Amino acid sequence: MSIGSRRQGGQPILPYHHVQRGTALVVILCGTEALVIALAFSTGQHLGALIVTVAVAALLAATIVFFLTMTVDVSPGALELTMLRGRLQRRWDLTEVRTAQVVHVPWYHGLGIHAFGRTWVFNVSGRRAVELTFADGSRVMIGSDEPEQLLQAVQAARLVA
């Protein structure tokens, strides 16, 4: 259980704070980087191939650094998410949430940050998330390696708000 989400009398204590490691993304990107480097060596010593390899390797390394962690904080009335080493910060007003549930993220939703229709996905590892549906019909999936605890914190924060 995360720091700040310890239970007392069966209820989560707010604020909830959890840092999830982007293990899946890091493994995928490291594998891709190894493949790019292997392909570069197999093409010989062409300067063009070397330049492309260095550029792709640098881009993949930067992506690994940026998606290493995702931080989720829940306080009375709000859920805040931080990704990309603090460069992306999102805040949702939990008083606007109509439903919250633990869901399985389909494989085709992938990992990272993206939208599918009216649903935004924020995920760095794994296939489980808490899906929030808002009054305007929009949805957001917050990936988590502890979705039940996150859902409990969201429900508690909605009651306090």
Q: Which CATH architecture has domain 7-22+67-160?
A: Roll (2.30)
> Structural domain boundaries of the chain?
7-22+67-160, 25-66
For 119, list phi and psi in degrees, rounded to 5. -115, 125
Q: Which of 12-16's residues contact partners 24+ apart within 8 Å by CB, and which partners?
A: 12/149, 12/152, 12/153, 12/156, 14/74, 14/75, 14/76, 14/153, 14/156, 14/157, 14/160, 15/73, 15/74, 15/75, 16/72, 16/73, 16/74, 16/75, 16/149, 16/150, 16/153, 16/157
For 25-75, the pLDDT digits (tens) are 788 888 888 887 787 777 766 777 778 788 888 888 888 888 889 999 999
In this predicted model, what pLDDT tens digit does every residue of 66-96 receive, in sequence order? 888 999 999 998 999 999 888 899 999 999 9
Instruction: Round to whole Å and give the CA distance between 124 and 105.
Output: 12
